[in-house]
A and B are shown apart, each in its own frame.
Chain A
C-alpha cells in the first residue's frame, strides 16, 4: 500500500536557525497537504500543493512539491519557539479520497 515517510524524525534547533523536513511517497501523489500538531494539540492544516514543482510561501514557511509529485518539503526560515510541534505531510495517490499521513517530524526550538 501507499507509504509516506518523513525525515528527519526529530530535529532540535536553536532559535533563529533554519529547519527543513522532507516527505517521500512510495507512489505518485495527486496532491499533498501539510499539517502542524503542537504538543498536546491536534493537527491543523497549513497548506495544500497540487501542481508538479509547485512552491508556496507563508511568511517564514516555504513548501515545495517535487517535479515527479513523489516528494515534498517544508522549510522554515529563522525558527521561533512558536514553531515547536510535529509537522505532518499527508498525500493521496488519487485512486481513493484517502489522505495518508506521513510519519511526521518533531521540531524542538531552543530559545
Chain B
C-alpha cells in the first residue's frame, strides 16, 4: 500500500468552528508532514513529525494544532480560523525525515473558511 489518505476531501467551516483534518499512511513511514497550498502557489511546509515527535513548526499560528497519535496517523486540529486560511491542506509522508527521501502526498483537504 503506497497511499496516503486524507479526510475529509472538502471542508467548509465558520470562523468559530472547531474541526479536524485526518491523514493516514500504512507504508511504515516515520516522517509525516502538513503542508498548506494556496491556488497557483507551491506547497508551504507547516509541521514535520519524526517518529511521532513534532520536529518542525514553521511559525504556524496556534489556531492550527497538529497531533500524531501513532506512527500511521496525523491530525490537524483547526479552531477559530480566518478566511485567509482557506487553502488545500496536504499531508505527506516519507521513509524518515530527510530531504533525500521521496515524499508521498495525500489528495488533500480543500478547506473553505467563511
Contacts and interface: CB of A to CB of B under 8 A. Distances in A.
Interface residues of A, number: 23
Interface residues of B, number: 20
Contacts of A43: 43, 90, 103, 105
B40 A106 contact: yes
Interface of A: 30-31, 33, 41-45, 48, 50, 88, 91-92, 94, 96-99, 101-104, 106
B103 A99 contact: yes
Contact of B99 (A42, A45, A99): A99
Given A92-B100, A97-B99, A101-B43, 9 more contacts: A30-B100, A42-B90, A42-B105, A43-B103, A88-B43, A94-B99, A98-B48, A98-B99, A99-B45
Nearest to A103: B42
A106 B41 CA distance: 10
Nearest to B108: A42
A96 B102 CA distance: 16
B77 to A, nearest CB: 22
A42 B42 contact: no
B97 interface: yes
